[in-house]
Structure 1
Amino acid sequence: MNFYRQNSDLELARLIAEDDPQAFGEIYQRYKGVLFLHAYRMLGDDDEAKDILQELFTVLWVNRKQIKLHTSFSSYLYKALRNRIFDAIAHKKVEQKYIESLAWFMEEGECVTDQQIREQELTQIIESEISLLPPRMREVFEMSRNTDLSYKQIAEELHISDKTVKKQVSSALHILKHKIDLVFIVVLISLKM
């Protein structure tokens, strides 16, 4: 092992590319401490720094034949480590945004969904109650709500007076209000039970 300690980083890189595990071990011993400290300072997490360092050296060994050094071996290692740290930080940010959006959906989305269901149920109740109105009253009421026609225009179309249209709409609203109020009371009582 003494032989490897005397070699330069470039000589060790050449030996690593030739599948020399002892040269790889020497590089690992030379840089693991300073690289770990650098990763820990940037990440603030001991386990995450260890994981990134292990991944860095694993990839270094797996890709040993493809590594082309354009600078010093230490510069290569620092740059590779920095890139992995940036990837980890970016991943954390994406993960945090996902968690926040999931938490929002769990809090707010459930309310939105419940509200939509209640609105649909209320719409069905109103439509059901409208269908129970006397036929002429229902026809006048639906025309007043579903068309842009005035009371006078509805009266002309149905060949009745506009006072009759107004009375029919008013009566329909009174009946619906009374029935829907009863539905709300029943719903509120059932929620409290």
Structure 2
Amino acid sequence: MDHKKATDGDLWQYCQNDDMQAYNELFSRYYPRMFRLACRYVPDTMRAEELCMDQLFHLWVKRHEIRIISNFSSYLFRSIRNRIISDMRRHIPVMADLEELAEEQQLDRPSDYRLLSAEVEYSYRAVLNELSPQRRQVFTLSREEDLTYPEIARRMNLSVNTVENYMVAALSSLRKRLKENVPSAIIPLLLLSDFPSLL
């Protein structure tokens, strides 16, 4: 079998049957994009590399237990986002902000967390929907599919410069509007874009 021509789904099935070549092919397909994504949010490139390697190693170790219902790339990028967010939470005082909010409002902690989660998700989605359709699509392709600007430009039939301008404008709008409703320490996590399923 030619591993390079196999689909992600087929390669994952072979991995579950202990095919190391299939795993190596998935690794070579996805590690560069995962690393690029991690470097956006983790300033230490060695730490970013470590997070990606850990996630891919976890994939191999747990290959007999992991059930991937969605497509493989969606699962993989969701999992690395989870790992990045966990790492960011260790270095950004997000939990402290939440605890202070709970103390100030004298609310039960689990209830307060659920309330904040719902409010943050609502704010994020509302701000995202306020973007123009093209800016929203550029942002989504960049953050959810981890496409590069040239890849987005080809898909949307735009120039790379236009894609860059749309992305800058989208990020500026999101940061500005989110600051009005969301604790500032949480904003970097939101801009990972998969927020509701990761919180």
TM-score range, shorter chain: 0.3 to 0.5
More helix by share: 1
Q: Which has the higher contact order (CA 8 A, sep 6+)?
A: 2
TM-score normalized with structure 1 length: 0.47
Select the structure of larger CA radius of gyration.
1
